[in-house]
A = this chain, B = another copy of it.
Amino acid sequence: MTPEEFRRHGHEVVDWIARYMEEVEQYPVLARVAPGEVRAQLPPHPPQHGEPFASLLRDVDEIILPGITHWQSPSFFAFFPANRSGPSILGDLLSSGLGVQGMLWATGPACTELETHVLDWLVEMLALPPAFLSTGTGGGVIQDTASSATLCALLAARERATNGNANRTGTPVGLTAYASDQAHSSVEKAVRIAGVGSENLRVLPTGPARTLDSAALEAAIHADRVAGRTPCFVCATVGTTSSGAVDPLGAVGEICRREGIWLHVDGAMFGTAALCPEYRFVHAGLELADSYCFNPHKWMLVNFDCDCFYVADRGSLIRALSILPEYLKNQATESGAVIDYRDWQTPLGRRFRALKLWFVIRSYGVSGLQALIREHVRLAQAFAGWVDADPDWERVAPAPLSLVCFRHRSSDARNQAILEAVNASGSAYLTHTRLGGRYVLRLCVGQAETRLAHVTAAWELLREAAGRTA
């Protein structure tokens, strides 16, 4: 494809996306294809010769689009948001066009320095503790996901707890980790990957508030110490995927400090709320954390992938992950004056992801992003109010931000039937969880174009479905 052809087809794809933005609301939110249906339409063998670009776009329309679950629909209320925006798409497009591989400072100085800079901006924007600034002993880095951030935090914790021996002699027997039973599944995944073992993850039961119980944490740590084990890692969550519960960082953090245990705070879902001063309760006590992450690719208009991961002491992280073979050696690295982000992540290669983050922050400004968050919270609060006011429905968790957990006052089976009916309608997509053993519906507001009308329509759909399943 010549530059001239790229120009022409590039305009076609941009126009395709603009039209998709305009029309996304018309598609069934949850894809209606059966397993294997997309694949059955694809030719069994790859083409021997090149095909014209028009045939690709035609197949995107005819084969791919019907198999899409529309995360960008304003009626997508499932799981968590993965919102995106024009500036983000275009920042990422520039990244693809530049084709920079930023594993080392030398292989992409602007890729590295823009990332460091924008992550420092975000410390200011979210009022994060100054220890996370790159100008001190800490710093931030873009990871693909919060799962990877949690894994890196655990590896740094393991490094610190073993004085660097884990990397050489293997994960020692007896390391233990702690999280509530509401923590994200990536905590257990990280504990497995790092060789700690899921039996050494203390999954602490939560009460009705679904938050980490600091007394239970302290007792579990004490029991492990008595048994000769080495507590090394606590993951607190602000707020949980399931219900948005915010763990008490102050109480948890004081225990971790006293015990010398690495505290990682997972703010993947709701950290972005801290753009607004009135929602900064999510981060109360964060100054006691060793590491933290939040996901601009969830609720800050930056398209996937973009998780911002911070450490207060970059030394442990780099010691856990740095290996320097001869073929990567270079003057800049040896000078010690630069950051090589390959030492801050598990893979070696890295894309120029800071561009999309920079584009979003500059296009919307702090005030534009705050307005988006406030509007989403307002819509979720309105929905929570309707649930509270209807005697047939109940809320089953606090909803201080953009996620509402609720259920019809009837059986689990009927709630499941309601959910399936709403999702089958194609007009909205919600998902479920279990809280206190009960089947619970979740409505999470976070897509860029969600307005009051979409939330109202979802509420009507739910009530109609409840009527039909009576």
Q: A114-B64, A147-B347, A304-B101 are in contact. Are A3 and B16 (CB under 8 A)?
A: no
| Bound CA span A2–B186, Å | 35
Evaluate contact between B5 and A86: CB separation under 8 angstroms.
Answer: yes
Q: Which residues of B contact A106 (CB under 8 A)?
A: 30-31, 69
Evaluate contact between B145 and A304: CB separation under 8 angstroms.
Answer: no
Evaluate contact between B14 and A14: CB separation under 8 angstroms.
Answer: yes
Q: Which residues of B contact A33 (CB under 8 A)?
A: 109-110
Number of A positions contacting B (CB below 8 A): 154
| Bound CA span A321–B188, Å | 10
A366 and chain B: residue at smallest CB distance: B48
Q: Which of A196-204, A256-264, A455-463 contacts B (4 or more CB under 8 A)?
A: A196-204
Cβ of A100 within 8 Å of any chain B Cβ, yes or no, is yes
Evaluate contact between A38 and B113: CB separation under 8 angstroms.
Answer: yes
A325 and chain B: residue at smallest CB distance: B185
Evaluate contact between B64 and A147: CB separation under 8 angstroms.
Answer: no
- The listed residue (B5, B18, B78) touching A7 by CB distance below 8 A is B18
CB within 8 Å of B: which of A25-42?
30-31, 33, 35-39, 42
Q: A94-B13, A189-B323 are in contact. Are A35 and B86 (CB under 8 A)?
A: no
Q: A167-B197, A170-B197 are in contact. Are A53 and B7 (CB under 8 A)?
A: no
Evaluate contact between A125 and B46: CB separation under 8 angstroms.
Answer: yes
Q: Which residues of B contact A167 (CB under 8 A)?
A: 192, 197-198
Q: Which of A231-239, A279-287, A330-338, A392-400 contacts B (4 or more CB under 8 A)?
A: A330-338
Q: Which residues of B contact A67 (CB under 8 A)?
A: 108-111, 113
Evaluate contact between A98 and B56: CB separation under 8 angstroms.
Answer: no
Can you report 9 residue pairs joining A to B where beta carbons are below 8 Å apart?
Answer: A35-B332, A39-B114, A46-B121, A48-B367, A147-B347, A170-B173, A185-B323, A195-B196, A327-B442
Cβ of A22 within 8 Å of any chain B Cβ, yes or no, is yes
Give chain A's interface secondary structure class: helix
Q: A168-B197, A171-B170, A367-B48 are in contact. Are A84 and B55 (CB under 8 A)?
A: no
Q: A82-B99, A94-B13 are in contact. Are A47 and B349 (CB under 8 A)?
A: no
Cβ of A15 within 8 Å of any chain B Cβ, yes or no, is yes
Cβ of A11 within 8 Å of any chain B Cβ, yes or no, is yes
The distance from the CB of A211 to the nearest CB of chain B, in whole angstroms, is 17
Evaluate contact between B50 and A85: CB separation under 8 angstroms.
Answer: no
Q: Which residues of B contact A56 (CB under 8 A)?
A: 87, 358-359, 362-363
| Bound CA span A440–B353, Å | 33
- The listed residue (B84, B97, B186, B329) touching A348 by CB distance below 8 A is B186
Cβ of A402 within 8 Å of any chain B Cβ, yes or no, is no
The distance from the CB of A264 to the nearest CB of chain B, in whole angstroms, is 16
| Bound CA span A198–B186, Å | 25
Cβ of A434 within 8 Å of any chain B Cβ, yes or no, is yes
Cβ of A293 within 8 Å of any chain B Cβ, yes or no, is no
Q: A90-B9, A304-B351 are in contact. Are A38 and B197 (CB under 8 A)?
A: no
Ranked 8 nearest A-B pairs via Cβ: A195-B195, A67-B110, A171-B195, A170-B197, A1-B86, A10-B14, A17-B97, A6-B86
